[in-house]
Structure 1
Amino acid sequence: MNQFCIVIPNYNHTHAIAAVLDELKELKLPIIMVDDGSDADAKQVFSELDAQYDFLTLISHVQNQGKGGAVQTGLMAAYQQGFSHAIQVDADGQHSLSDISKLIELSNASPNKVISGCPIYDSSVPKHRYLSRYITHFWVWVETLSFDIVDSMCGFRVYPLAAVEHLMTRQTLGKRMDFDIEILVRLYWQGVKVTFLPTQVIYPENGVSHFRALHDNVGISWLHTRLFFGMLLRSPKLLWRKVAG
């Protein structure tokens, strides 16, 4: 039987996390929150939440590693604790948490797949972020020689942890905003398929984004360069997969 938990990376997100946890507690699932080297005030908030909720496990990084680093810590902790699947959720309240039950239903039907949200945006999405996603979508289609991955940047996903552990023990993955893209492409190369669920995504008015326009865009560009050449090495296998169906 599949055993699910929730993984939340958190770097100084305090304004919405209590509300996120209050909504998530209705699911009766264990939650692993990774404090990614937050400041003292945020750590105090997280410590109070950890004491308040018995379903919450708090893991702390001494220094900030980036969102990808925090997610990787949470995923490996979930695997080591015996969970079969982990649901990645952001701490800032942008995800439609009511859709988690649908993600779980799809995961139970296809336990070896990644189940990912496919964002439906409202007017709150910054235009440059919205447009830049399509550049990444194009490169991911090139890197996988397929259109199977319709969105590679949404951090609202269910991961099959055995496949993730197999990948992460053999491949160093990016630790910042490049992580969501890279893990999906590399899992696809590994033979893990993806199912997408349309889901509403908002950018909260008082939300704090840790996306660094210059550094993260450069990091993502370098990621696509590496993945492109990785695709060339794997292209015979990827093309054969398409032919074989």
Structure 2
Amino acid sequence: MENRRENGAGTDGSARLGVLIPAYEPGRGLSGLVRRLSEAGLPVVVVNDGSSAAAEPVFQELGAAVVLRHKKNRGKGRALKTGIAYMAAQGFEGVVTADADGQHSPEDILRVAEALSASATQLVLGTRDVSRMPPRSKTGNGLTRVLFRLLYGVRLRDTQTGLRGIPLTERSLPGLLELPGEGYEYEMEMLAQSAALFPAGVEAVEIQTIYSEDSDAVSHFRPFRDGMRIYAVLFRRFPRFLLSSLLAFLVDYLAFNLLYYLVLGRSVPAAVLARVISGTVNYNVNRHMVFGGAYHLGGYLKILLPILLADCGLIYLLVDCLGLPAFLIKPLVDGGLYAVSFVSQNRMAQGERRRPDVLSGRPRQC
């Protein structure tokens, strides 16, 4: 709790920082957290996200904290956007977001603030020990970590932490305010778009893993509904990719059968020519309708060529060597390669938005 700051500004002229806490029906512990942060010299902004009148005494006990209010509950994502917009307008150059449910200690909040102050353009994640979480939280966090690494090629130890140090720069601020998501999915959107928002990367700071009966009672996370929204962020490109792939498959399947049965009579040349035709269609649709401008031909070809080799090898083995019917084997082989293609192209599209090692996720002790 040392290293006191006045008005959130470091004595060495470092960035002006503050703490942002979205709160919906908070418990009594919120006032103690705010008091200790204020005593440490960190300004605190609390967003009352449409809490009932029964919670009003808690907000009245927050002392020097600025309290912003939503007339009705609009979700954690909207509360974060409201707070970020306010703090940016007040001249803050970075915010540390913390939860109101008692899961973040003042010491850990200050450590994340120190890390953000030391590198004012990186996103800082307060990373918990997932092995010490309750079973429900451990399972959900573990699944999102695996999916995030698979789809984005980034290893993060804690994808659901609410303790984050967020730089407010000319590059990041507009994106933070425009990110989709009004609820808990907003935080996953921030990670999914972090390469574009925070080109300096992501840093991990180890924090305590705090779960108590009080924090469980205050938490408003709904595992099924909120969880589905989080997974929808991870797979947001999948529906359009599915349509693009179905179109490419139809083109490929038609071209293959025409070339194999009517022109060439040989499976491998027919598969190669059909894949070139369908790949041209697939690339253009993916670039303009699925992944956007960061998607480019060089990366696509690096993915297409290994898949083409695998496709031809399996077709040759199953059709030419084993004599199985080509019209049946072709869709089975393509279906098996579909998931590999989606994961590879999604990771490639994200990778083109960042330089190497931007999202390191390296743990740091402050």
TM-score band by shorter chain is: 0.7 to 0.9
Map 1:40-51 → 2, pairs under 5 A: 40-46=53-59, 48-50=60-62
Residues 137-170 of structure 1, C-alpha deviations (whole Å, 9 max, x = no match): 11222332232x332210111100124313135x
Residues 1:235 and 2:348 are matched in the alignment = yes
Please tell me whether the aligned partners of residues 167 and 187 of structure 1 are also in contact (alpha carbons under 8 angstroms).
Answer: no
CA distance in 2, matches of 1:25, 1:177: 26
Please tell me whether the aligned partners of residues 195 and 350 of structure 2 are also in contact (alpha carbons under 8 angstroms).
Answer: no
Residues 1:18 and 2:31 are matched in the alignment = yes
Which letter maps to 1:178?
Answer: E
CA distance in 2, matches of 1:233, 1:213: 26
Map 1:22-171 → 2, pairs under 5 A: 22-46=35-59, 48-50=60-62, 53-54=63-64, 56-120=65-129, 125-147=133-155, 149-162=156-169, 163-169=171-177, 171=178
Structure 1 or 2: more strand by fraction:
1
Please tell me whether the aligned partners of residues 182 and 223 of structure 1 are also in contact (alpha carbons under 8 angstroms).
Answer: yes
RMSD across aligned C-alpha pairs, in angstroms?
2.4
Which letter maps to 1:176?
Answer: G
Please tell me whether the aligned partners of residues 17 and 95 of structure 2 are also in contact (alpha carbons under 8 angstroms).
Answer: yes
Which letter maps to 1:16?
Answer: G
- Relative distance call for 1:214 and 1:23 in structure 2 (3 A) is same
Pick from 196, 199, 204 the counterpart of residue 204 of structure 2: 196
Give how far 1:215 is off.
1.0
- Relative distance call for 1:221 and 1:20 in structure 2 (3 A) is same
**Per the alignment, in what secondary structure is the counterpart of residue 155 of structure 1?**
coil
TM-score, length of structure 2 as denominator length: 0.60
CA distance in 2, matches of 1:161, 1:129: 30
Which segments of structure 1 move beyond 4 Å, counting only runs of 4 or more? 227-234, 239-245
CA distance in 2, matches of 1:237, 1:176: 23
Rg larger for: 2
Structure 1 or 2: more helix by fraction:
2
Please tell me whether the aligned partners of residues 121 and 200 of structure 1 are also in contact (alpha carbons under 8 angstroms).
Answer: no
CA distance in 2, matches of 1:17, 1:243: 40
Please tell me whether the aligned partners of residues 145 and 239 of structure 1 are also in contact (alpha carbons under 8 angstroms).
Answer: no
**Per the alignment, in what secondary structure is the counterpart of residue 103 of structure 2?**
coil
**Per the alignment, in what secondary structure is the counterpart of residue 15 of structure 2?**
coil
Which letter maps to 1:38?
Answer: S
CA distance in 2, matches of 1:226, 1:143: 11
Please tell me whether the aligned partners of residues 122 and 201 of structure 1 are also in contact (alpha carbons under 8 angstroms).
Answer: no
Question: Which residue does 2:21 correspond to in 1?
Answer: 8
**Per the alignment, in what secondary structure is the counterpart of residue 27 of structure 2?**
coil
- Relative distance call for 1:73 and 1:192 in structure 2 (3 A) is farther
Higher relative contact order (CA 8 A, sep 6+): 1
* Runs of 5+ consecutive residues of structure 2 not aligned to the other structure: 1-13, 239-289, 292-342, 359-366
> Percent identity between the aligned chains?
27
Map 1:177-188 → 2, pairs under 5 A: 177-188=184-195
Give how far 1:5 is off.
0.6
- Relative distance call for 1:243 and 1:58 in structure 2 (3 A) is closer
